[in-house]
């Protein structure tokens, strides 16, 4: 009997953390490309990508920031490229959509609901910042809604409808699963679904093991065999939740977007270091890590030869 294959996604840089929080956070196009390729070599089948301004590390969703590292990654790796439509909570839906609409990746992220997205507790742990935008960005999350309305979600789905792009569907709470079911019922999202359950963001569902089980049971009831489950745990919850999910038959996401750490008080030196630890967890459970080709087959992706980068 063949072992079950676990898909590891690596979220390479994201918009949650700022450059002052870790010297290992990739910022420039070359750094992002090297981080993604390193993560793939360590065992990530999928790399989830945001872009940043190379001068100050500010989240930047302009296609011009994505193009250089997308080309390098495609030239040097067979990994599945997943481009964000989340961008950052400070961006408009039109800004957030541009890279996916232009580059037509195999996978794009898709947030399933508006929410409070509290980053400000990080201010108690990080006192000094190199760039003027960082502290106000974190402080502003106390009074900021991450907007993902029904109209926003529909706009992303319809814009990508003819591109062959499938979605990493990010669900931060139980209600987001029901929103997904609504769009499935309308025929705007088609199985197999790739449902990414997000735990530990202030404003979303918590990181307790019962929270993880609640998300899994609800998704099972709503989607049955039509979905593949994956999880990400924010911050210190990353590897605990990854272990629980892998043991329950799920896939896992790690990376410096979600957590800067590889252990208590120990900054991860790279995305690859986190992926290597995730791989160790998977293999210690007697399971195998999926290759990019196996992830493509499982998720029914269009293939890396049909993207526009």
DSSP 34-75: HHHHHHHHHT-SEEEE--B-TTT--B---HHHHHHHHHHHHH
Phi/psi of residue 188, nearest 5 degrees: -85, -20
Q: Write the CATH number for 292.
A: 3.20.20.70
Domain that holds residue 210: 5-306
Q: How many domains does the chain divide into?
A: 1
Burial class (CB in 10 A: 0-12, 13-18, 19+), 110: buried
Render each residue's pLDDT in the chain as its tens digit; 309 residues. 567 899 999 999 999 999 999 999 999 999 999 999 999 999 999 999 999 999 999 999 999 999 999 999 999 999 999 999 999 999 999 999 999 999 999 999 999 999 999 999 999 999 899 999 999 999 999 999 999 999 999 999 999 999 999 999 999 999 999 999 999 999 999 999 999 999 999 999 999 999 999 999 999 999 999 999 999 999 999 999 999 999 999 999 999 999 999 999 999 999 999 999 999 999 999 999 999 999 999 999 999 999 999
Omega before residue 192 within 30° of 0, cis = yes
């Amino acid at each position: 009997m063949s072992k079950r294959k676990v898909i590891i996604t690596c979220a390479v840089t994201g918009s949650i953390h700022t450059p002052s929080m870790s010297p290992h956070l990739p910022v420039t196009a070359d750094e992002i490309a090297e981080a993604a390729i390193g993560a793939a070599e360590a065992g990530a089948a999928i790399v989830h990508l945001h872009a940043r301004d190379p001068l100050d590390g500010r989240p930047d969703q302009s296609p011009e920031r994505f193009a250089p590292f997308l080309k390098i990654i495609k030239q040097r790796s067979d990994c599945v490229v997943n481009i964000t439509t989340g961008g950052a909570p400070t961006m408009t839906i039109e800004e957030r959509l541009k890279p996916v609409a232009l580059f037509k990746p195999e996978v794009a992220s898709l947030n399933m609901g508006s929410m409070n997205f509290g980053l400000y507790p990080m201010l108690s742990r990080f006192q000094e910042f190199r760039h003027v935008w960082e502290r106000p960005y974190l402080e502003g999350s106390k009074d900021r809604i991450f907007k993902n309305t029904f109209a926003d979600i529909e706009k992303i789905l319809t814009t990508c409808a003819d591109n062959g792009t499938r979605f990493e569907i990010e669900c931060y709470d139980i209600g987001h699963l029901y929103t997904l079911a609504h769009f499935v019922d309308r025929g705007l999202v088609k199985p197999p679904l790739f449902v990414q359950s997000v735990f530990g963001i202030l404003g979303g569902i918590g990181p307790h093991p019962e929270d993880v089980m609640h998300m899994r049971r609800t998704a099972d009831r709503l989607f049955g065999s039509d979905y593949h489950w994956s999880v990400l745990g924010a911050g210190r919850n990353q590897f605990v939740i990854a272990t629980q999910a892998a043991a329950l038959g799920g896939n896992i996401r790690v990376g410096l977007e979600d957590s800067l750490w590889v252990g208590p008080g120990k900054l991860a030196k790279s995305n690859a270091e986190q992926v290597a630890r995730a791989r160790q967890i998977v293999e210690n459970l007697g399971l195998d890590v999926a290759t990019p080709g196996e992830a493509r087959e499982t998720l029914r992706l269009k293939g890396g030869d049909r993207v526009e980068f």
